[in-house]
Structure 1
Amino acid sequence: MSAPAALADLLTSRIRDVADHPKPGVVFKDITPLLADPEAFTALVDAFAAFAAEHGATKVVGLEARGFILGAPVAVRAGLGFVPVRKAGKLPGATLAQSYDLEYGSAEVEIHAEDLTSDDRVLVVDDVLATGGTAEAALHLIRRTGARVAGLAVLMELGFLPGRERIAAALDGAPYQALLTV
Structure 2
Amino acid sequence: MSIKSLIRTIPDYPKKGIMFRDITTLFEDPEGLRDVIDSFASEFQDQKIDMIAGIEARGFVIGPAVALALGIGFVTIRKKGKLPGETIGVEYDLEYGSDVIEIHKDAIKLGSRVLIMDDLIATGGTALAAIELIEKVGAEVAGCAFIIDLPDLGGAKKIRDRGVDEFHLVEFEGD
Task: Provide the rounded CA distance (Å) in 2 between the counterparts of 1:36 and 1:24.
Answer: 26
Q: Structure 1 CA distance, aligned partners of 2:109 and 2:43?
A: 21
State the match for 1:180 in structure 2: 170
- How many residue pairs get aligned? The number is 172
Please state how far the C-alpha of 1:50 moved relative to its aligned partner: 2.1
Aligned position for 1:22: 14
Equivalents in 1 of 2:129, 2:166: separation in Å?
15
CA distance in 1, matches of 2:67, 2:28: 19
Q: Does residue 147 in structure 1 map to residue 135 in structure 2?
A: no
CA pair 169-94 structure 1, distance change in 2 beyond 3 A: farther
**Does the alignment pair 1:159 with 2:161?**
no
| Cα separation, 2, equivalents of 1:115 and 1:169 | 27
Identity %: 44
Shift of 1:169: 4.3
Instruction: Tell me the equivalent position of 2:124.
Output: 132
Contact 1:55 1:151 in 2 (8 A): no
Q: Which amino acid aligns with 2:47?
A: H
CA-CA distance at 1:72 after TM superposition: 1.1
C-alpha separation in 1, matches of 2:60 and 2:43: 17
> What is the CA–CA distance in structure 2 between the aligned matches of 1:98 and 1:168, rounded to whole Å?
20
User: What does residue 3 of structure 1 align with?
Assistant: none
2:99 to 79, 101, 107: 107
Greater percentage in helix: 1
CA distance in 1 between partners of 2:99 and 2:168 (Å): 24
TM-score, normalised relative to structure 1: 0.90
User: Secondary structure of 2:106's partner?
Assistant: helix
TM-score under structure 2 length normalisation: 0.94
> Separation in 1 of the partners of 2:161 and 2:59?
21
Q: Which residue of 2 aligns with 1:40?
A: 32
Greater relative contact order structure (CA < 8 Å, 6+ sep)? 1
Where does structure 1 differ by over 3 angstroms across 4 or more consecutive aligned residues? none
Alignment correspondent of 1:81: 73
